[in-house]
Structure 1
């Protein structure tokens, strides 16, 4: 799945194997890779080489940390929803639509086994917060298969391809429905909260950000930054409206937002303004005239208000990128 996303389409139509044996093999590969990397003399490399060495070391450490410590297969199904995402086959025109439909159908046919392995790997009780988010995401994926992909085969004349695609998406949606019900049961007896604790959080920062600093130091830096920002915002508030409380001014600014129906076009205009400012003020060079397409966030990702879906780094044909903006839902009031 990851290979397909970055533009290596020989991996199209394949979901990862989450079985215990495959995970053990992957963990062993990562440990071996880290050991081999550390036999190199990083001190003898030039600046770019040392940067590459550091990035590779952090990548391997991060992957090992996820496997050995975070263990998302046991306690965080949210991290695995993305593997079931077949939107790239539909949105990115890297091959004839018929071929992309076949690949998407092949991936969705594997959803049942994928979810079965995940269901068996997950702990019997999970944090209710993790479950709530996961249910929203996996339910959204089922809806995406049933509703959003309903018109994906429009214009395809080969009815065999269309029939296989529609059968695969409905079967996958049904498997997702069953998985969601299983998730709900796990949340009923699970712990409250979502905190992972100081040890795991420190590990996340060390392997994900290369930040080898104590949490107390990070908290102190954050507190100092907060106090500085609060002092600055008070100064700014007085320059805008002397005598008025900060909270009142912030509330007034917060009322200045797009109407629900204008959210997508206004976001598109805002991104263009930001891009032009970067050019006008020579902040960075902008090497391409390509623009990301601003569209509604897919249903399986609406736990986020906005997100970027960038074209794969090795993609040579379909270079479309998408900026997702979550629309205003009716139940928000």
Structure 2
């Protein structure tokens, strides 16, 4: 039987080398001059590698492994199975142009100073030079593209071209000796992006609807199983989400009545939310407000001794154009294997400039001052930014041992992070902070509204892809039961079609993470228990239970 640790390390290396995007996101810069190769031959080779890896892992005697290695084995096997499923069953690279956007991989080299400018420009030149072939491959592969994916891709690819035009010259100004290498590659990349934009435009002008973006029940339920890595069935997720919707609705009605008076009814909720929505940022102030709320949240975490703080840098900025069109905000951290002192980016998208005034007003009524406070808790403090900073410290190397005192014997958890755990911790953090009084009753109302949104996310995710939920019914659910502004609901409907199963990670992750938090041992302080929860990387919650002895 193979020894697990050396086998796991060989498989991790194979995963990193076969997908430069995975490597870059993990913080391994050995393949920074490459783009993912999605040609049929390369995909076939990758599938064969994954099958070999799965076979080898199945031959390991897990009974002889320690708890850490047993968890790593389970996470790695699940990662291999999930990649095989995506490449052989969902095959998104054959119908979703967003899978071919090189923007994030270029941005990572431009925005983060993990190496000298000249070294990053060398890698950037390699990636820019690879864009023409990569986009030619994309045009040859993509068939029956859903219209909504083509529309979103048109905006994101235009953002990638703008990134090259606007940001590469500024980087070259710091290392002018690299111009002869980088500028021709940049010109070729821009020409290829222009050609791809024309291809997308012709696709959209043809009026062809493309395939239905809904996966259907068989594929969606299979992807949900891989995404959640939990014992919950799809039916159980839906049932629990509906129950949570009822429970939180009652809490929201009571909180609204406490804030503005009147009966604990939906009309009172609308009146309370309307009063809160009057104070809101705009396109010029939203990033500044996010920075201010970060300071508030950090001081609150420190004062209440909620979880150990870190001194890692966090840059709050406007979301790059190449990343817009799916979510309003995101947290973009350094990879778990990153050794340089580089920042996390907490990015927020302002309302698009071409929106009509009424829709912009609706957007900022949704993302009002109090909602921004709650959003910062989720995305940054003590949500994603802080949790992922703790997670990075688990991985062996320059970050040393974890808070639990034992470094990982493998790099498995650097690749095998769990969406349900990451999102679940962030939603739990919202509840934790408002429970301790952060932002008072106004922020609590926004947090409860976000709990409704989280439950509806899971409901709409499943009904959209499995039961052909009509757009009108989804909108009515979100604006009615969820009290969402129409613009927010419209954006979420797009996101439900553009993604699948990701919207379910918030609710399932929250229920599992909150249950672990509630199992705090007698005598352990909240801070000590929260630190212990964050001391094992970002594993699926069921494995965290094993590691914590819950």
Which segment is superposed worse, 36-45 or 9-18? 36-45
Q: Note if 1:170 corresponds to 2:187.
A: yes
Residues 141, 300 of structure 1: 8 Å contact kept: yes
> Superposed, which structure 2 residues align to 1:121-160 within 5 Å?
121-123=141-143, 125-158=144-177
Give the superposition deviation at 1:77: 1.9
Asked whether the equivalents of residues 332 and 346 of structure 2 are also in contact (C-alpha less than 8 Å), the reply is yes
Query: What is the CA-CA distance between 1:28 and the residue it aligns to?
Result: 1.1
Moved over 4 A (4+): none
Instruction: Return the alpha-carbon distance in structure 2 between the equivalents of residues 102 and 212 of structure 1.
Output: 46
Q: Name the structure 2 match of 1:323.
A: 346
Corresponding residue to 1:273 among 296, 304, 307 = 296
Shift of 1:141: 0.8
CA distance in 2: counterparts of 1:197 and 1:252, whole angstroms: 41
CA distance change for structure 1 residues 318 and 4 in 2, over 3 Å: closer, same or farther? farther
SS in 1 for 2:99: helix
Aligned to 1:98: 118
For 2:170, what is the secondary structure of its paired residue?
Answer: coil
Is residue 315–residue 345 contact of structure 2 (8 Å, CA) maintained in 1? yes
Residues 23-58 of structure 1 deviation map (CA, whole Å, 9 limit, x = unaligned): 111111111111221222334433322221221122
Cα pair distance change 1:33/1:155, threshold 3 Å: closer
Match for residue 11 of structure 1 among 21, 31, 44: 31
**2:283 aligned with 1:232:** no
Residues 200-226 of structure 1 deviation map (CA, whole Å, 9 limit, x = unaligned): 211122112113433222211111111
- Could you tell me whether the CA contact under 8 Å between 1:108 and 1:172 is conserved in 2? yes
Instruction: Give distance in 2, aligned partners of 1:278 and 1:199.
Output: 43
Is the contact between residue 135 and residue 192 of structure 2 (CA under 8 Å) also seen in structure 1?
yes
The 1-side partners of 2:137 and 2:176 are apart by: 36
User: Contact 1:143–1:173 at 8 Å: present in 2 too?
Assistant: no
Q: CA deviation at 1:236?
A: 0.8
Work out the CA distance in 2 between the residues paired with 1:163 and 1:262: 40
Post-superposition offset of 1:245: 2.2
Q: Secondary structure at the match of 1:168?
A: helix
Q: What's the counterpart of residue 295 of structure 1?
A: 317
Question: Are the aligned partners of 1:142 and 1:176 in contact in 2 as well (CA < 8 Å)?
Answer: yes
Matching residue of 2:198? 181
For residue 15 of structure 1, give the secondary structure of its aligned residue in structure 2: coil
- Taking a change above 3 Å as real, the CA distance of residues 273 and 193 of structure 1, as seen in their structure-2 partners, is farther
Q: TM-score, normalised by structure 2?
A: 0.57
Shift of 1:175: 0.8
User: Partner of 1:29 in structure 2?
Assistant: 49
Q: Which residue of 1 aligns with 2:273?
A: 250
Q: CA deviation at 1:231?
A: 1.0
Segments of structure 1 that go 5 or more residues without pairing to the other structure are none
Kindly tell me the number of residue pairs found equivalent between the two proteins.
Answer: 329
- Residue aligned with 2:192, SS: helix
Which deviates the most, 239-248 or 148-157?
148-157
Query: Residues 29 and 186 from structure 1, CA distance in 2 versus in 1: closer, same or farther, beyond 3 angstroms?
Result: same
Q: Tell me the equivalent position of 1:194.
A: 213
The Cα RMSD (Å) is 2.1
Question: Aligned partners of 1:214 and 1:50: how far apart in 2?
Answer: 24
Q: Residue 10 of structure 1 aligns to a residue in which SS?
A: coil
Q: Give CA deviations for 1:123-153 in whole Å, capped at 9, x if unaligned.
A: 1x21111111111111211121122333221
Q: CA deviation at 1:318?
A: 4.2
Paired with 1:226 and 1:29, the residues of 2 have a C-alpha distance of 43
Give TM-score scaled by structure 1 length: 0.91
The answer to which of 98-107 and 64-73 deviates more is 98-107
